[in-house]
Structure 1
Amino acid sequence: MDAYSWFRRGVSKLKKASLSTSSVAGAADGDGNNDNKSFKNKLQQEEEELYGITDQLIEFVKSFSFETFKNFSFPDEDGSSCDGGISGNVRADLSDWQEKHAVLALSRSKELAQLRFRLCPRYLKERQFWIIYFTLVKSYVAEYELRAVRLAKLKQIRMENESVSNSSACEVEMSEAKFTTSVESSDSTEQNLHSILKFKI
């Protein structure tokens, strides 16, 4: 996936999320405009907290400069550095959490958005920009990303357990149905046998 389509998809997700937030906020609005705004702000704060967009992070991001990104060195696997290149051990694509974080960070920090505009694609590729960004902010966002990964794994385990229990329930129902059918068929066979025997006598 190229950087432009990745970013466009991220912006599209953000718009959808904000539209759903607006519709929820609109549905909850019964007392007036102030309640609606406070509800929207609360939802936005919760979303930002979920994706690690904190005041400390925004302050740190404000310290980034053109040179911070331009002079960033990517470490090679052997420990030496290569300027401007991407080493094989750095993953090229962002996770869903990182994409959402990036979109929220750009919307919250105009400095980051302007810096990205200046750097990409003239000096850095889009993915290089985000690799550098996530390397720089790792200490600020690692716990939030780890929490998101853990929640995703728990959700996956829960869904797998539900599907196993659903399939077990289906198997039990099917075996009960087979047993009932076999009992009914044996009863009907027995009745047929009695009627044949009566007919012969």
Structure 2
Amino acid sequence: MDLSSWFRRTLLRNTEKTQNPDPPKHNEPEDELLGITEQLINLVKSFTLETFKTFPLPDDEGATCGDNSLKTSGNIQKDLSQWQQRHAMLVLTKVKELSHLRYKLCPGHLKEHQFWRVYFMLVKKQVAEYELRAMQLAKLNEVKMENERSTSADTCEVEMAETKHIGVGSLAPTSLQLHNIT
């Protein structure tokens, strides 16, 4: 093998690596908690402008949508649950195609809250179990915090009762001594 063929192969390999880099790893813990999986990413990449424009939206009356004054960072509506907000922010950073669709659609064709309603209806099957798991974890953490609060409150009450008992006991002999003196 001569030097020129080695150089061409090395150059070709390096060119292929820069053109087709290894896919980014999406198995980080937060990704998993928020339902950002390869399957979801592939589904979201398949969305088009027409997917959102032609999606049949139910009446806004029964929906939990806020007005445009209810915004958080990144223009994600507060009418989304905390889990949905975190999911939306992460999916926008991981899937640039969705970010571009959102830019093209909002506010010209859809309002922000309509975009996210359509998105979460489209991905409902893929993210439902993750959202349910997050709600269960939040409930467990809430119960744990409540138990810790009640345990610490009980401890304080016991300590206060013991302090009062010791205080009364220490005063009692003095009172008795005073009665005996008179």
Q: Do both share a fold (TM > 0.5)?
A: yes
Structure 1 match to 2:31: 48
Matched, 1:108 2:108: no
Matched, 1:187 2:173: yes
**Residue 61 of structure 1 is aligned with which of 44, 53, 72?**
44
Matched, 1:87 2:60: yes
Q: CA deviation at 1:187?
A: 1.5
Q: CA deviation at 1:188?
A: 1.5
Matched, 1:176 2:162: yes
Q: CA deviation at 1:192?
A: 2.3
Q: CA deviation at 1:186?
A: 0.7
Structure 2 match to 1:127: 113
**Residue 71 of structure 1 is aligned with which of 47, 54, 58?**
54
1:88 counterpart letter in structure 2? E
Aligned CA RMSD, in angstroms, stands at: 1.5
Q: Distance in 2 between matches of 1:130 and 1:67?
A: 15
Residues 44-75 of structure 1 show CA distances to partners (whole Å, capped at 9, x for unaligned) of: 71111111100000000011110111111123
For these two proteins, the number of residue pairs brought into alignment is 145
Scaled by the length of structure 2, the TM-score of the pair is 0.76
2:60 counterpart letter in structure 1? S
What is the correspondence of 1:136-155 to structure 2 with a 5 Å cutoff? 136-155=122-141
Structure 1 match to 2:145: 159
Q: CA deviation at 1:191?
A: 2.3
Scaled by the length of structure 1, the TM-score of the pair is 0.69
Structure 1: runs of 5+ lacking an equivalent: 1-40, 76-85
**SS where residue 94 of structure 1 aligns?**
coil
